[in-house]
Amino acid sequence: MVDVKKLINDPRTVVAESLEGFAAAHADLVEVHADPAYVTRAGGAVNGKVGLVSGGGSGHEPLHGGFVGVGMLDAAVPGAVFTSPTPDQIAPALQAADGGKGVLAIVKNYTGDVLNFETAAELADAEGVTVRTVVTNDDVAVEDSLYTAGRRGVAGTVCVEKIAGAAAERGDDLDAVVAIAERVNASVRSMGVALTACTVPHAGKPSFDLPEDEIEIGIGIHGEPGRRRIPLASADEITEMLLTPVADDLGLAGGEQVLLFVNGMGGTPASELYVVYRRARALLEARGVQVTRSLVGNYVTSLEMQGASVTVLRLDDELTQLWDAPVHTAALRW
């Protein structure tokens, strides 16, 4: 059944089998429900706490299942690879996350995710669960215009999940958690680059064809091609192409404090992510911006794609505090 060079048994079972492994490895943190597939905290919903649910296509691990746990998500819903999950998976996850104070659904802005979560929210609502939705759209590679489906939700989603999760944990009500999530989303921007495509198991070949000496700037996280293809450049040059639109779009001014998040797309060595981080930080500092929090690693991936994205979140005291608040999930812990 394996005709694609991956550590899998069968493209049709890879998501389910991976979830089984995830469940067994992290039984202290999560429970994984099969058919329909969704992940909840080991203890289930926390009574009296606003629930947080996110989801989307698989292939972006650790997003979202890796962020289920104290201080972050209550449930995550994995679809097929790069395919948003279906309402019959999402709705029970929303219900399972409800501790009586309503549920915030954090949805990355893609037509499929938005539509499926929309339907699921209706279904959950019919079961008496109050659902509010925040759609993340931090990717500055895509203009938010009449001519697009709007900016995509990418790595900045981790910031929304972490900080809204902390707000829910400290006891904020649904309105307040929604407000925080929206504030984070409004304060975070990202942009990514691909050096290689990734191969979706069921497709069996790379998601796009890229010559040895070219790279894609402005990629999404589903193996789509980027906004433009350019000749291979140095890490410093590439980082500048990513950081500049991010910082400009945020309108960062000297003296501001930010979180700098360099995210690997799955197949890039950590050492290279730090080379990108080094340059991104220098560019921010050259603008007089202070990097007070950092995150470097593979958090929102595209299978084994080589590449990275740069995310900047404008911080204030409250967001910093919520970022620092304890978190205990498979992928993020402090």
Ligand X SMILES: Nc1ncnc2c1ncn2[C@@H]1O[C@H](COP(=O)(O)OP(=O)(O)O)[C@@H](O)[C@H]1O
Question: Structure tokens of 189?
Answer: 């921007």
Quick check: is 328 catalytic? no
**Considering the rule CB under 8 A, would residue 19 count as an interface residue with a copy of itself?**
yes
Indicate the residue among 7 and 146 with the shorter CB distance to a copy of itself: 7
315 contacts: CB under 8 Å, gap ≥ 6: 187, 256, 257, 258, 259, 292, 293, 323
Query: Residue 220 CA to chain centroid, in angstroms?
Result: 11
Name the helix (H) or strand (E) containing 286.
Answer: helix 270-286
Binding at 80: pick from other proteins, ligand X, a copy of itself, none (beta carbon under 5-8 Å per type): other proteins
Question: Structure tokens of 295?
Answer: 């995150």
Judged by CB under 8 A, the number of residues near a copy of itself is 64
Distances (CA, A) of 245 to 108, 159, 214, 242: 20, 19, 21, 6
Interface pick for other proteins out of 183, 189, 222, 279 (rule CB under 8 A): 222
Indicate the residue among 118 and 304 with the shorter CB distance to a copy of itself: 304
Alpha-carbon distance 325 to 71, whole Å? 7
Interface pick for ligand X out of 9, 13, 111, 234 (rule CB under 6 A): 111
- Which span sits near Mg ion by CB under 5 A: 32-40, 81-89, 248-256, 323-331? 81-89
Helix axes 174-186, 317-324, angle to 10 degrees: 110
Binding at 88: pick from a copy of itself, other proteins, Mg ion, none (beta carbon under 5-8 Å per type): other proteins
**Considering the rule CB under 8 A, would residue 118 count as an interface residue with other proteins?**
yes
Least distance between ligand X and beta carbon 109 (Å):
12
Alpha-carbon distance 14 to 30, whole Å? 19
Could you say which of 26, 33, 60, 202 is catalytic?
60
- Residue 137 region, left (φ>0) first, then alpha (ψ -120 to 50), else beta? beta
Distances (CA, A) of 127 to 43, 69, 77, 115, 160: 21, 24, 18, 19, 26
Indicate the residue among 167 and 200 with the shorter CB distance to ligand X: 200
**Considering the rule CB under 8 A, would residue 204 count as an interface residue with a copy of itself?**
no
State the Cα angle at 120 between 329 and 17, rounded to 5°: 50
Binding at 154: pick from ligand X, other proteins, a copy of itself, none (beta carbon under 5-8 Å per type): none
Least distance between Mg ion and beta carbon 290 (Å):
39
**Considering the rule CB under 5 A, would residue 109 count as an interface residue with Mg ion?**
no
Least distance between ligand X and beta carbon 113 (Å):
8
Using the structure block, give the residue that is written with the tokens 């495509």: 197
Interface pick for Mg ion out of 83, 187, 196, 301 (rule CB under 5 A): 83
Peptide bond into 231 cis (omega under 30): no
**Considering the rule CB under 6 A, would residue 112 count as an interface residue with ligand X?**
yes
Alpha-carbon distance 136 to 48, whole Å? 25
Strand 188-194 and strand 214-217: the pairing is: antiparallel
**Considering the rule CB under 8 A, would residue 112 count as an interface residue with other proteins?**
yes
Written as one letter, the residue type at 304 is E
- Which span sits near a copy of itself by CB under 8 A: 102-110, 139-147, 247-255, 290-298? 290-298
Positions annotated as catalytic residues are 60, 222
Residues in touch with other proteins (CB under 8 A): 36, 57, 79-88, 110-112, 115-116, 118-119, 141-142, 146-149, 152, 200, 202-203, 205, 207-208, 220, 222-225, 227-228
